[in-house]
Homo-oligomer: A and B are copies of this chain.
């Protein structure tokens, strides 16, 4: 089962909110339903959102065609709705804009471009995995545990994934003994999704609370931190799931590499530094309740930023499908060699 797919002018999504308890595939034919799925994190992850954004415009075009509406208007309206769903996730906008641009060549070109995002995503993941595993061979002291945060596996892309794809390849190469997945509160993408993927891949893993990451790094329990990214500023500052920054601080202090794995489309040359990246704040309820039952006292409120920004100087390497960037050594993400 692919995380996201396109058949018969319909988007098929594996609903990530019910994993690992249930594997439910959603068939989505309306832009409003896709927007709901993105907001509710039924589909999530930088790369999957890029594909979802592009396919969302294809969906709008197909429905407008069936209903005899203006395609351009429908596509523009869909773009507006979809871009607003996750403000930090730059891949979403990237995927949308790719298909909007193709629409100037006609609806078939737009649909083809959207469909092509699927195969391109798979190719990019394979290329990142190979390049990342080679980098790990260079950086790891030997057979090591690695710490990863949130979910960056097949569920965050079409197949295979970004950071977890690198881990999968490096485990296949005999470089990784065990993966430590930080659970990733509030929505537990680590303990629900990453754990589920690692189990299916037969890669040994343990789950820790997010707060334990820094301490496991300080004690050299892990030899590297490997994460994805939701947006990378031109200077190499990395916005990623809340909690990444604390892992990065600890890795820096202990001299352990922090490796960020993300496709070129995650690099946003229009945002000079991390301070310009909008950080999505999500509903209080994610923090205050659990599985529908309240854990905090009545009347409590929360502050719930979904992402944080790790300064470039703490990022040992960014691995894309095309290159390895070394922000900590002053290499700018926006500058191509």
A311 CB, min distance to chain B CBs, angstroms: 9
State the oligomeric state as a number of copies: 2
- Answer whether residue A65 sits at the interface, using C-beta atoms and an 8 A cutoff: no
| A192, A209, A246, A288 pick with most chain B CB within 10 angstroms | A209
> Which of chain B's residues have a CB closer than 8 A to the CB of A195?
296-297, 300
A212 is an interface residue with CB less than 8 A from chain B: yes
Which of chain B's residues has its CB closest to A211's CB? B243
1/0 per residue, CB under 8 A from B, across A279-291: the answer is 0000000011011
- Give the residue among A210, A215, A249, A293 with the most B Cβ atoms within 10 A: A215
**Residue of B221, B250, B302, B305 touching A249 (CB-CB under 8 A):** B250
Q: By the criterion CB–CB under 8 Å, are B221 and A303 in contact?
A: yes
Closest CB in chain B relative to A200 CB, distance in Å: 9
| A98 in the interface (beta carbon within 8 A) | no
A191 at the binding interface (Cβ < 8 Å): yes
Enumerate A221-242 residues with CB–CB distance to B below 8 Å.
221, 241-242
B242 near A211 (CB under 8 angstroms)?
Answer: yes
- Contacting residues, chain B, for A304 (C-beta < 8 A): 208-209, 212
Cα(A165)–Cα(B184), bound, Å:
30
Contacts of A309 in B (CB 8 A): 215, 218
> Given the interface contacts A297-B199, A299-B199, does A210 sit within 8 Å of B207 by beta carbon?
no
Which residues of A from 267 to 324 have beta carbons under 8 Å from B?
Answer: 287-288, 290-291, 293, 295-297, 299-305, 308-309
Chain A residues engaging chain B, CB cutoff 8 angstroms: 20, 180, 182-186, 188, 191-192, 195-196, 199, 205-216, 218, 221, 241-243, 245-246, 249-250, 253, 287-288, 290-291, 293, 295-297, 299-305, 308-309
